[in-house]
Chains A and B, each alone.
Chain A
Amino acid sequence: AQSVTQLDSQVPVFEEAPVELRCNYSSSVSVYLFWYVQYPNQGLQLLLKYLSGSTLVKGINGFEAEFNKSQTSFHLRKPSVHISDTAEYFCAVSDFTGGGNKLTFGTGTQLKVEL
């Protein structure tokens, strides 16, 4: 079974500072990796995804992530955060099983941007 580990449950950062949210996965097969964002009182929104090709993936709102197969990591980064980036961020891995696919999520990282 595939699994995802997000080591940081909370990450406080000042506005305009850079941030990195860490994600490690375990899998015995090729993986597809995702980052989702959840703003307060909302559902999850796809931020970016890695399917194949370039290991540096760019997403919405200035976020990017780098797939590192040797370290089994898919860390999310942003060079300069804004107060509106305050949200919970979930890393997920795609797993094909039975007749369909399912996503396995990490436990989430709460990003709190302070002035």
Chain B
Amino acid sequence: DVKVTQSSRYLVKRTGEKVFLECVQDMDHENMFWYRQDPGLGLRLIYFSYDVKMKEKGDIPEGYSVSREKKERFSLILESASTNQTSMYLCASGPLGHLINYGYTFGSGTRLTVV
């Protein structure tokens, strides 16, 4: 089975800190994604990447950046954390092209609290 591993299950950070959320997948997938999940808002796409060093903005990229130096790893960066970034963050991966329509594989999520 494809595994998508998010390095932290829970994180508590202070306002203004630089925060790194790490995601690693083990199935050689080209596509990787970062979503944010909030009650009543569902999942909203922050950034995605379809190749190493490639990235595209999703629907809510403000306040975030990403890094993909290796195919298996996709990092989400909060340059200066703010309380409105308190949320559940979900990473996902999937193959390129038409195969993506067989669905993504999600990690278990990182619940970030910014105080």
Whether the pair A43, B107 counts as a contact (CB closer than 8 A) is yes
A34 to chain B, nearest CB (A): 6
Whether the pair A98, B106 counts as a contact (CB closer than 8 A) is no
B10 to chain A, nearest CB (A): 11
Q: Which among A9, A44, A105 has the greatest number of chain B C-beta atoms within 10 A? A: A44
Whether the pair A98, B56 counts as a contact (CB closer than 8 A) is yes
Closest to A44 in B: B106
Q: Which one of B40, B97, B103, B108 lies within 8 Å of A34 (CB-CB)?
A: B103
Interface residues of B in 34-51 (CB under 8 A from A): 35, 40-45, 48-51
Interface residues of A in 70-115 (CB under 8 A from B): 90, 94, 97-108
Per-residue contact bits, chain A 33-54, to B (CB 8 Å; 1 contact, 0 not) = 0101000011111100101000
Q: How many B residues, CB 8 Å from partner?
A: 32
Q: Which one of A32, A45, A106 lies within 8 Å of B42 (CB-CB)?
A: A106
Q: A43-B90, A44-B90, A44-B106 are in contact. Are A101 and B101 (CB under 8 A)?
A: yes
User: What residues of A have a CB within 8 angstroms of the CB of B54 in the complex?
Assistant: 99
Whether the pair B51, A99 counts as a contact (CB closer than 8 A) is yes
Whether the pair A49, B101 counts as a contact (CB closer than 8 A) is yes
Whether the pair B103, A49 counts as a contact (CB closer than 8 A) is yes
User: What residues of A have a CB within 8 angstroms of the CB of B56 in the complex?
Assistant: 97-100
B110 to chain A, nearest CB (A): 10
Q: Which one of A9, A98, A103, A108 lies within 8 Å of B104 (CB-CB)?
A: A103
Q: Which one of B30, B40, B43 lies within 8 Å of A105 (CB-CB)?
A: B43
A32 to B54, CA, bound (A): 24
Task: List the interface of chain A (C-beta within 8 A of B).
Answer: 6, 9, 32, 34, 36, 41-46, 49, 51, 90, 94, 97-108
Query: Can you report 19 residue pairs joining A to B where beta carbons are below 8 Å apart?
Result: A32-B101, A34-B103, A43-B4, A43-B106, A43-B108, A43-B109, A44-B104, A90-B42, A94-B101, A97-B56, A98-B56, A100-B56, A101-B31, A103-B33, A103-B45, A103-B104, A105-B35, A107-B40, A108-B43
- The 4 tightest CB contacts between A and B, nearest first, are A100-B50, A43-B106, A107-B42, A101-B100
